[in-house]
Amino acid sequence: MTNAHRSVVNKTVGGKDFAFKLGTNAICNVETSVGKSFADIIDDIEVGNVSLNVLRTMVLYASSEFQPKTSLKEAGEMVDELGPSATGELLAELIRAAYPELNIDDSAGEGLEATAG
**Residue 83: is its pLDDT beyond 60?**
yes
Listed by start position, the domains of the chain span 2-115
Predicted TM-score (pTM) of the model is 0.84
Q: Which of residues 103 and 66 earns the better pLDDT score?
A: 66
- How many residues are recorded in the chain? 117
The type of residue at 114 is A
- Other CB atoms within a 10 A radius of the CB of residue 6 amount to 12
Q: What per-residue confidence (pLDDT) applies to 28?
A: 95
CA separation for the pair 29, 49 (Å, rounded): 20
Displacement of CA 1 from its chain's centroid (Å): 14
CA separation for the pair 68, 89 (Å, rounded): 22
